[in-house]
Amino acid sequence: KWGQLRQRLLKTVGQNNYTTWIEPLVFSEVQDGVATFNVPTNFMGNYVSQNFADLILYELNTAGAKVQRVSFQVAANVAARPSTRVAAPETPQDTSPAPLDELQAAPLDPRFTFDSFVVGKPNELAHAAARRVSEGGPVTFNPLVLYGGVGLGKTHLMHAIAWELRARKPELNVLYLSAEQFMYRFVQALRERKMMDFKVLFRSVDVLMVDDVQFIAGKDSTQEEFFHTFNALVDQNKQIIISADRAPGEIKDLEDRVRSRLQCGLVVDLHPTDYELRLGILQTKVQQYRGSYPGLEIADGVLEFLAHRISTNVRVLEGALTRLFAFASLVGREIDMELTQDCLADVLRASERKITVEEIQRRVSDYYNIRLSDMIGPKRLRSYARPRQVAMYLSKQLTSRSLPEIGRRFGGRDHTTVMHGCKRIEELKLTDGQIAEDVEMLRRALEA
Ligand code: ADP
Ligand code: MG
């Protein structure tokens, strides 16, 4: 039994925590509703009881054990001499979160407002829906479900809604918390036998916001309680706002009734960011940073490069920019391409696009309707040379190949030829609208 439980804990706490804290636990016994584990050291006992007791308790109860609390005792070899046995923490409850009757919303991040949220094609629907519910008018869609991958702005939008509602309708009781916190509160209420308080509290909110709801998938009793809370609030016409990392229909181990409840509101997704949105976000962030780093210069093209090359995850994008600013101010240099490449080598490598020179050549020759062999071959005709230069330029922009490497892939041309080709396209992009458009179309097609 404990073996299975450990597997579930591993999933929840992650490999590192698991190896350090959960794996060494030795299950001892359950008596009078207390589950006892042996631990090698007192320190470990304290740590685990402070950080993982709720979770272990929760999993035990989910698995059908009737346990009110868990306790940790220093291991058996020490226990062989009872007089030297170090007392395990007597009451793990003492270290649990704030009492239920002080139920508080999770703190809101002051940076996550509508003002600081950059709107683009990939998130405009989600943004519009968030704006609408933040007006606090009559409830028109319930629940509002925002879903999308990591770092696309779900939490940002939820906090923005909460800030806005606080400002506009201070009389409303707005509760924002993560699904994980919801679970902990629930487990705590069970353990302290305060389910009535729990129900009364959660049913008294006017707007309930639960972030990362996928967390409760597979956690049966939490889902059930969530379902009841949800229904009670919907019946009272109270607004519910939910986020998830994927569409409700795609969350595994979510009860059908919870799933269908989520689907009967307005479900909008945040798409992965596109180039324009990333550039917009970078420009906005640069404006914000200017205050803290006066006099810092960014060379032309750096932001565009980052928007091209760094992942769709906005958190990664922000992290890169922060690092770049810190680094530049430390060494007192302008942020140019060289500094950027140096400073962000690891990030750039990790988010490297898998676009290859060969793929670019294929696309470009298709686009201009010429044979691949002619584009790579020695012919100097303008109708081959121009597409060839476009392909070289895109290879330089979109792959990490060096000029000589690119040259080699274009029929063994010299790196100066490649450099010349890239320069030529850069010039033409400024003077020849058709070329500019061709390059842009191709870039998009390749990045799609
Ligand atoms: P999620 O909850 O979807 O994983 P977050 O809301 O935590 O993502 O966003 C990650 C980071 O990216 C935050 O710092 C957030 O401010 C920022 N961010 C995401 N989208 C935008 C956007 N459209 N405009 C400005 N910042 C954004
Ligand atoms: Mg989030």
pLDDT digits (tens, 9 = 90+) for 427-444: 999 999 899 999 988 988
Domains 121-270 and 357-447 share a fold: no
Contacts of 439 (CB under 8 A, 6+ apart): 390, 393, 394, 425, 429
pLDDT on residue 15: 74
CA of 229 to the centre of ligand 2 (A): 22
Query: Mutate which of 281, 314, 317, 321 to test ligand 1's pocket (most atoms within 8 Å of Cβ)?
Result: 314
Is the model's pLDDT at 94 over the cut of 70? no
Q: Which atom of ligand 1 is nearest to the CA of 116?
A: 25
CA distance 178 to 180: 5
The response to whether 218 counts as a known ligand-binding position is no
pLDDT on residue 327: 86
Superfamily of domain 121-270: P-loop containing nucleotide triphosphate hydrolases (3.40.50.300)
Is the model's pLDDT at 102 over the cut of 50? no
- Do residues 328 and 321 make contact, with C-beta atoms less than 8 angstroms apart? no
Mean pLDDT of the chain: 85
- Do residues 409 and 377 make contact, with C-beta atoms less than 8 angstroms apart? no
Is the model's pLDDT at 206 over the cut of 80? yes
Which residue would you say has higher pLDDT here, 267 or 78? Answer: 267
Which whole number is the average pLDDT over 283-300?
84
Q: What is the pLDDT of residues 6-62, one digit of tens each?
A: 888 887 777 777 877 788 888 888 888 888 888 877 767 777 887 778 778 878 877
Alpha helices, H only, 169-236:
179-191, 195-202, 220-235
- Environment of ion ligand 2 (residues, CB < 5 A): 154-155
Which whole number is the average pLDDT over 338-356?
81
Q: Which residue's alpha carbon is nearest to atom 5 within ligand 1?
A: 153
Confidence of residue 151 (pLDDT cuts 50, 70, 90): very high
Q: What is the pLDDT of residues 242-268, one digit of tens each?
A: 999 999 988 989 999 999 999 989 999
Ligand 1 lining (C-beta closer than 6 Å): 112, 116-118, 123, 148, 150-156, 281, 314-315, 318
In CATH terms, the fold of domain 357-447 is Chromosomal Replication Initiator Protein Dnaa; Chain: A; (1.10.1750)
Total-model pTM: 0.62
DSSP, collapsed to helix, strand or coil, labels residue 145 as strand
Is the model's pLDDT at 384 over the cut of 90? yes
Candidates 1.10.8.60, 1.10.10.10, 3.40.50.300, 3.40.50.620; correct CATH number of 275-350?
Answer: 1.10.8.60
Handedness of CA 378, 380, 382, 388 (dihedral sign): positive
Would you state the CATH architecture of domain 2-76?
2-Layer Sandwich (3.30)
Q: Which two tokens stand for residue 96?
A: 């649990």
Which whole number is the average pLDDT over 181-193?
90
Q: What is the DSSP string of 351-409?
A: T-----HHHHHHHHHHHTT--HHHHHSS---HHHHHHHHHHHHHHHHHS---HHHHHHH
Which whole number is the average pLDDT over 225-234?
94
Report the candidate in 311, 316, 309, 314 with the shortest Cα–Cα distance to residue 280. Answer: 314
Ligand nearest to the CA of 284: 1
Percent of the chain with pLDDT over 70: 91
Confidence of residue 101 (pLDDT cuts 50, 70, 90): very low
N- to C-terminal Cα separation, the chain? 47
Give the domain ranges of the chain. 2-76, 121-270, 275-350, 357-447
